[in-house]
Amino acid sequence: MAAAQNLPAPGPQGHGRAEPRHGLRLFLMWLPMSVAAVAAIWFAWYPHLPPGRMSDAAAGQQFDIAVLSVTAAPVVIGVLLYFVYAIVVWRARPGDDSDGPPIHGHTRIQVWWVLITSAIVMWAFAFGTYELVVPAGAGSGEGPVPIWKLTGTTTPAWAPGTHDMLQVQVIGQQWVWTYRFPQFGGMETTRLDLPEGMPVEFHVTSLDVIHSFWAYQLGVKADANPGVDDVAYATPKQYGSFTVRCNELCGIWHGAMYNYGRVVSPAAFETWAAGVESKERSDGLLAALPPYALVYDPTVIPQLGKQFTKVAGITGANGYYYPGPQAGTTHGDPVSP
């Protein structure tokens, strides 16, 4: 804008006519374009922005993207408009070898420039911070000691129709996700069902390399690191299915490390979870799983109370074996269900 406001007397092409008010021209072009862009973003684009509104975290992210887009659109339009205007209006005409006008700055414009840009940046900072803090981390992993917690009651048993926080442990392993539900006996599944309208506390960890749990439509993303409990929150708000992907390059089949989850009614969720718990208990699987913990050391077998070790000279099975035959086993013992 400085160039527009500090134009010298008309050059060779301007002889005989007054210099137009470039600033006003630009403003009159910028204003309707910005209004149109803001309206298009807010009314047409916003409802379809990813990741959707399947959870409070997702809806918050969608709102954030829309607000920041509305903030950015007038700035982008102003920059591009000025760029195009300058090229068209202030371009050098054929045969014009004269120097451009000497510009020595313009205090008022510079002050406004600093104020406006500072206001935009401070707004983005304040808005972004609020939107991260208030919705309990906005669906992101907050580490083992979350600062911003979702409101809910942490109870050993979960029940529909209450304000109980559902605990879900997400376990990454090359290249499959599994989920444990400590409020349902610590049962584990490959399927992630969640109750609609009830707060969920995810505890994300890994048994081998670094993964990243990304429940896309829920707006939840948290790193899955071995030996680390990464906590994230969300409250599902809409029925339907969502996709869980790994968002951290974790090996050759990283791209295939995904599965699907569903948001169902609280009653349906309870029926499903209790059914899985019952089956795993009767099959003996619950007893075979390690006691529920926030992290696991895969080299420790809790039920045996000891580590398995690598035995030199044994090539099979990676060379890892328990330190000697297990107590109570005899030659020819069948597999133990």
User: Residue 275 interacts with other proteins (CB under 8 A)?
Assistant: no
If we measure between CA atoms, which residue out of 183, 148, 203, 146 comes closest to residue 266?
A: 183
Query: d(Cα 307, Cα 77) in Å, to the nearest integer?
Result: 63
Residue 272 CB, nearest distance to other proteins (Å)?
A: 15
Other C-beta atoms lying within 10 Å of the C-beta of residue 185: 18
User: Residue 291 interacts with other proteins (CB under 8 A)?
Assistant: no
Query: d(Cα 183, Cα 158) in Å, to the nearest integer?
Result: 6
Amino acid present at 281: R
CB nearer to other proteins: give 36 or 301: 301
Contact 232, 141 (CB under 8 A): yes
Query: d(Cα 42, Cα 67) in Å, to the nearest integer?
Result: 8
- Would you give the DSSP letter of residue 218? G
User: Residue 305 interacts with other proteins (CB under 8 A)?
Assistant: no
Contacts of 53 (CB under 8 A, 6+ apart): 59, 62, 237, 238
Q: What are phi and psi of 188, to 5 degrees?
A: -130, 145
CB nearer to other proteins: give 132 or 250: 250
CB nearer to other proteins: give 38 or 207: 207
User: Residue 85 interacts with other proteins (CB under 8 A)?
Assistant: no
Binding mask 312-331 for other proteins (x = CB under 8 A): --xxxxxxxxx--xx--xxx
User: Residue 229 interacts with other proteins (CB under 8 A)?
Assistant: no
User: Residue 75 interacts with other proteins (CB under 8 A)?
Assistant: no
Please list every residue from 157 through 216 that binds other proteins, using CB under 8 A. Answer: 171, 173-176, 178, 188, 190, 207-209
CB nearer to other proteins: give 233 or 296: 296
CB nearer to other proteins: give 22 or 203: 203
User: Residue 87 interacts with other proteins (CB under 8 A)?
Assistant: no
Contact 207, 253 (CB under 8 A): no
User: Residue 303 interacts with other proteins (CB under 8 A)?
Assistant: yes
CB nearer to other proteins: give 107 or 282: 282
Q: How many residues does the chain have?
A: 337
Residue 285 CB, nearest distance to other proteins (Å)?
A: 5
Contact 71, 37 (CB under 8 A): no
- Would you give the DSSP letter of residue 199? -
Binding mask 232-261 for other proteins (x = CB under 8 A): -------------------xxx--x--x--
Query: d(Cα 257, Cα 127) in Å, to the nearest integer?
Result: 34
- The footprint of other proteins on this chain (CB under 8 A) covers a number of residues equal to 48
Would you tell me which residues interact with other proteins (CB under 8 A)?
171, 173-176, 178, 188, 190, 207-209, 251-253, 256, 259, 280, 283-285, 288-290, 298, 301, 303-304, 308, 314-322, 325-326, 329-337
